[in-house]
Structure 1
């Protein structure tokens, strides 16, 4: 099992941060066939072998993903793609 933890600073208004988080989740859902749901300021997602949460805080978005085997073998590639996507979306 591999864990991915990404923290992205931002200066977005809460509604802008939520829209950016939704875009990240939509991309993950598309790539990995995840189901997503909001729980307050936490966007939870899961499917067999993958689960995680994108937590919105003032000036920060924190993404935690747990990858089961065999997806864990792609952890570095997944982390690189998600980091880049978050960097682009959480700019002010």
Structure 2
């Protein structure tokens, strides 16, 4: 099993950061069939082969994901895409 662990700085107000994370979650659900829900300031997401969280922290996001066997082989491209989306939305 492969793990992704990304800390990404941001300067958005809490409400704006939450809205941006919500929009990312909606796109993930639409494109990849990801289920998600909020628990406080943490967005939990899951689908077959992946289980993860996006935690809203003051001035940073903390993205963690556990990738199953098949998706683990794609860890590099998946992590690159996550970083690209974070750069696009949060910098």
**TM-score, normalising length: structure 2:** 0.92
Moved more, 18-27 or 49-58: 18-27
* Number of residue pairs matched by the alignment: 91
Distance in 1 separating the partners of 2:3 and 2:31: 17
Residue 55 of structure 2: aligned partner: 55
Residue 12 to residue 54, structure 1, CA distance change in 2 (3 Å): same
Alignment map for 1:65-84 (pairs within 5 Å): 65-84=65-84
Where structure 2 has 5 or more consecutive residues not aligned to the other structure, the ranges are: none
- Offset of residue 82 of structure 1: 0.7
Counterpart of 1:27?
27
Q: Return the alpha-carbon distance in structure 2 between the equivalents of residues 89 and 48 of structure 1.
A: 26
Cα separation, 1, equivalents of 2:73 and 2:30: 19
- Structure 1 ranges of 4+ moved more than 4 A: none
Match of 1:14 in 2: 14
Question: Cα RMSD over matched residues?
Answer: 1.1
